Amino acid sequence: MATVLLSVLLLLLLSVAVHAQTTTGTTADGLKYASSSGTVSITGYSGPGGAVNISGTINDLPVTSIGISAFAICKSLTSVTIPNSVTSIGSNAFGSCKSLTSVTIGKSVTSLGFGNSSFLRCDALTSITVDASNPAYCDAGGVLFDKTQTALLQYPAGKTDANYTIPSSVTRFGNHAFLYCASLTSIYFPGNAPAMDGYIFVGAPSGFTVHYFGSAIGFTSPTWYGYPTQIDGPPLSPTVTTNPMSQAAPSGSTVTFTAAANGKPGPTVQWQASTTGTAGPFANIDSGTNPSALTTTLTLPSINSAQNGYAYRAVFTSSEGSSTTIVATLTVAAPTGTTADGLGYTISYTNNSGQIAITGYSGAGGAVTIPDTLYGLPVTRINDYAYNYSSLTSLTIGSSLTTIGRYAFAHCTSLTSVKIPGNVTSIGDYAFAHCTSLTSVKIPGNVTSIGDYAFEYCTSLTSVTIPDNVTTIAYAAFYSCSSLTSVTIGSSVTSIGDFAFYPCGNLKRMVFQGNAPTVDGSYGLPHDTSTFTVYYFNNKTGFSSPTWTDNFGINSTPLKKD
pLDDT of residue 382 exceeding 90: yes
CA distance 411 to 392: 10
Identify the H or E element spanning 2. helix 2-20
Residues 323 and 438 in one domain: no
pLDDT at 340: 81
Q: Give CA 318 to chain center in angstroms.
A: 23
User: What average pLDDT does the structure give for the chain?
Assistant: 87
Identify the H or E element spanning 258. strand 255-264
In sequence order, the 6+-apart residues with CB closer than 8 A to the CB of 490 are: 465, 466, 467, 468, 469, 470, 513, 514
Q: Is residue 512 part of a domain?
A: yes
The segment with the largest mean pLDDT, out of 90-104, 214-228, 531-545, is 90-104
CA distance 105 to 83: 7
Neighbours of 562 (CB within 10 A): 9
29-38, 237-246, 346-355, 440-449, range with the lowest pLDDT: 346-355
Q: Where among 208, 231, 254 does a domain terminate?
A: 231
pLDDT at 475: 96
pLDDT at 424: 95
Residues 263 and 405 in one domain: no
- Enumerate long-range contacts of 82-90, CB under 8 Å, 24 or more apart: 82/54, 82/106, 82/109, 83/54, 83/55, 83/56, 84/56, 84/108, 84/131, 85/56, 85/57, 86/54, 86/56, 87/111, 88/64, 88/112, 89/65, 89/113, 89/118, 90/65, 90/66, 90/118
Q: Is residue 11 part of a domain?
A: no
Which residue, among 122, 149, 124, 121, has the nearest Cα to 134 in the 3D structure? 149
Q: Give CA 431 to chain center in angstroms.
A: 41
Which residue, among 332, 184, 198, has the nearest Cα to 255 in the 3D structure? 332
CA distance 234 to 320: 11
pLDDT confidence bin for 267, thresholds 50/70/90: confident
Residues 529 and 399 in one domain: yes
Residue type, 301: P
Q: Where among 331, 349, 381 does a domain terminate?
A: 331
Mean pLDDT for the stretch of residues 462-490 = 94
pLDDT confidence bin for 199, thresholds 50/70/90: confident
Q: What is the pLDDT of residues 17-27, one digit of tens each?
A: 444 588 999 99
Residues 292 and 389 in one domain: no
pLDDT at 561: 52
pLDDT confidence bin for 468, thresholds 50/70/90: very high
pLDDT at 81: 97
Q: What is the pLDDT of residues 434-455, one digit of tens each?
A: 999 999 888 999 999 899 999 9
Q: Where among 201, 231, 261 does a domain terminate?
A: 231
pLDDT of residue 178 exceeding 80: yes
Mean pLDDT for the stretch of residues 25-49 = 95
CA distance 403 to 397: 11
Q: Is residue 117 part of a domain?
A: yes
Residues 62 and 193 in one domain: yes
Q: Is residue 6 part of a domain?
A: no
CA distance 117 to 66: 13
30-34, 109-113, 263-267, 539-543, range with the lowest pLDDT: 263-267
Residues 296 and 394 in one domain: no
First to last CA, the chain: 114
Q: Is residue 38 part of a domain?
A: yes
Q: Which domain holds residue 151?
A: 23-231
CATH number at residue 80: 3.80.10.10
What Rg value do the Cα atoms of the chain yield, rounded? 42
pLDDT confidence bin for 554, thresholds 50/70/90: very low
Q: What is the pLDDT of residues 82-117, one digit of tens each?
A: 999 999 999 999 999 999 999 999 999 999 987 778
14 versus 129: which is more confidently predicted? Answer: 129
Tally of domains in the chain: 3
Residues 130 and 209 in one domain: yes
Mean pLDDT for the stretch of residues 258-283 = 88
Share of the chain above pLDDT 70, in %: 90
CA distance 250 to 256: 13
pLDDT at 286: 75
From residue 120, give the alpha-carbon distance in Å to each of 140, 155, 178, 179: 19, 11, 10, 8
Mean pLDDT for the stretch of residues 494-505 = 92
Mean pLDDT for the stretch of residues 389-399 = 92
pLDDT at 131: 97
Mean pLDDT for the stretch of residues 416-441 = 93
Residues 110 and 176 in one domain: yes
Q: Classify residue 54 as left (phi > 0), alpha (psi -120 to 50) or beta.
A: beta
Is the bond preceding residue 222 a cis peptide, omega within 30 degrees?
A: yes
Residues 500 and 446 in one domain: yes
Q: Give CA 204 to chain center in angstroms.
A: 39
Q: What is the pLDDT of residues 223-253, one digit of tens each?
A: 998 899 988 767 778 889 899 998 877 777 8
Share of the chain above pLDDT 90, in %: 60
